[in-house]
Amino acid sequence: MPETPAPETIIITGASDGIGAAAARALSARGRTVVIVGRSPEKTAKVADALGADHFVADFSKLSEVRKLAAELRERYPRIDVLANNAGGIFGDRTITEDGHELTLQVNHLAPFLLTTLLMDRLILSKTRVINTSSVANLGGNIIIDDLDLATRFSPGRAYSNAKLDNILFTTELARRFGAEGITTASFHPGVVASNFASDSRSPLRVIYRSVLRHTLISSEKGADTLVWLATTTPGSDWTSGEYYIKRKPGRTNRQADDAQLASALWERSAAMVAPPVE
C-alpha cells in the first residue's frame, strides 16, 4: 500500500485570538497540522491546547523575538506548506520600537517580512503558500519610501493604511522574486471583524469596536474564510499568486499597489531596516 501523505503543516501568526485562532480551528478540523504563533503566552497556549497543536510565543515589536521564532520553526519543521502572516494591529501615538522603527510598520510589515525571508530556503524547498493578511484600509495608504516610519504627518490610521499597503506590495514582490522557485502568495482583506483589534488604538476604529455598532461586525469565523480558502485550495487554478482578495475574489487596491518599482524599493528598504545590528 502506498504511504498516506503527512498532513500539511500550516503556521499561523497572530493566532491567539480573532481570525488567526478561527482559521487555526477550521484548518485543524480539516486535518491540517496547525502551528499557533501569538504574543500572549496564556492565550496562545489556550488556543493550541484546545487543538492539540504546537505553539510559539513571539512579540513582533521586538525583531530579536522574530529571529528566535524563525530559528525555532526551522529546527522543528523540515516542511512548511503554508505560512500565514496574520499578526498585526493598529496602535495609538507614534511609538518607536527598540529596533528603531515605528510600531505599526514593524508589527504589520517588517516583522512578517523578516520572518518570511529568514525562512526563505525552507519555503522554497516546500513550495510554500505565503498568505498575508492585509486590509481594505490599504486604499488610504500613501507610501513615501524615504519615510516608512512616518516621522512626518503621523496618525494611527495613516500608519495602519500604509502598513496594509506594504503587505500587498510585499506579496506582489514575493511572487515576482520567488514565483519561479515554487513559492505562491496572496494577500487578503478579512472584513471588519468583531475581535480585540484596535483595542490599543486611539483611532476612530477603537470607538467602533467598543460601541453598540459592534453587532454589525462579522464573526472571526467569517473573517477567516478567505485565509482558510487560500490555505486549502490550489494556486494557479483557484487563485492567482501575487493577487489581493476580498471574499475569495480579487479586490480593489490602492493605485500604488501596481507600482512595480515601489514594490522592489520597499523590499530593498525593508531588508535594510531588519538587518541585524553590526556588532
Q: How far apart are CA 121 and CA 184, in angstroms?
A: 14
E strand spans, the chain = 9-12, 33-38, 54-57, 82-85, 129-133, 184-189, 244-246, 249-250
Tell me if 136 sits within 8 A of 161, measured CB to CB: no
Q: How far apart are CA 193 and CA 195, in angstroms?
A: 6
What the block records as the C-alpha cell of 28 is: 485543524
Q: Residue 118's CB: how many other CB atoms inside 10 A?
A: 18
Report the half-sphere exposure of 130 (CA within 13 A, side-chain side).
28
160 is catalytic: yes
117 residue type, one letter: T
Q: Phi first, then psi: what are they for 128, rounded to 5°?
A: -70, 150
Query: What is the arrangement of strands in the sheet containing 244-246, beginning at the earlier edge strand?
Result: 54-57, 33-38, 9-12, 82-85, 129-133, 184-189, 244-246, 249-250
State the catalytic residue, choosing from 77, 160, 244, 245. Answer: 160
Q: Hey, which residues are catalytic here? A: 160
